[in-house]
């Protein structure tokens, strides 16, 4: 699946949101996250991100980047700080709106200038 890497942290351009045909890109506090269950791998988002944050998992072997890929899935399949249940696959970011929370990895990431 596609995932959003570290360049998005604190930048959050959000051009990707408008491109996604299935509305599976969800907004956290410092970063956006692609729902790996809902994404249909169309790749439309990858082309529009101005900082090339969006990556197809098989296209990289950079460990730091892959950690963010795994973390992208964790945003949905484990309860986030302050929540009792995982987000799962809610059926579109328009349904949840911005979630205002990040995974512990992203929350503790150094600031991106």
**Residues binding ligand F3S (CB under 6 A):** 2, 4, 8, 11-16, 19-20, 22, 24-25, 32, 34, 39-45, 49, 51, 53-54
Report in angstroms how near the CB of residue 35 gets to ligand F3S at its nearest: 8
Measured distance CA(75)–CA(69) in Å, rounded: 10
What SS3 class is residue 39? coil
Nearest-approach distance from CB 81 to ligand F3S, in angstroms: 21
Q: Which residues pair with 34 in a beta bridge?
A: 25
Query: Can you tell me the distance from the alpha carbon of 62 to that of 20, in angstroms, rounded to the nearest whole number?
Result: 25
Nearest C-alpha neighbor of 1 from the set 50, 26, 34, 31: 34
Q: How far is the CB of 84 from ligand F3S (least distance, A)?
A: 27
Residue (20 or 80) nearer to ligand F3S, CB? 20
Shorter beta-carbon distance to ligand F3S: residue 18 or 78: 18
First to last CA, the chain: 28
Q: Are 50 and 15 in contact (CB under 8 A)?
A: yes
15 vs 96, which CB is nearer to ligand F3S?
15
Residue with Cβ nearer ligand F3S (80 or 93): 93
């Amino acid at each position: 699946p596609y995932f959003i890497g570290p360049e998005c942290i604190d930048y959050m351009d959000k051009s990707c949101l408008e491109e996604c045909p299935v509305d599976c890109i969800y907004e956290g506090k410092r970063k956006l996250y692609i729902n790996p269950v809902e994404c249909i791998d169309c790749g439309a988002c990858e082309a529009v991100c101005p900082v090339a944050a969006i990556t197809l998992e098989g296209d990289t072997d950079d460990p730091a980047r892959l950690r963010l890929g795994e973390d992208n899935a964790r945003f949905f399949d484990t309860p986030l700080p302050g929540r009792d249940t995982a987000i799962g696959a809610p059926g579109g970011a328009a349904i949840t709106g911005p979630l205002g929370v990040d995974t512990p990895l992203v929350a503790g990431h150094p600031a991106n200038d």
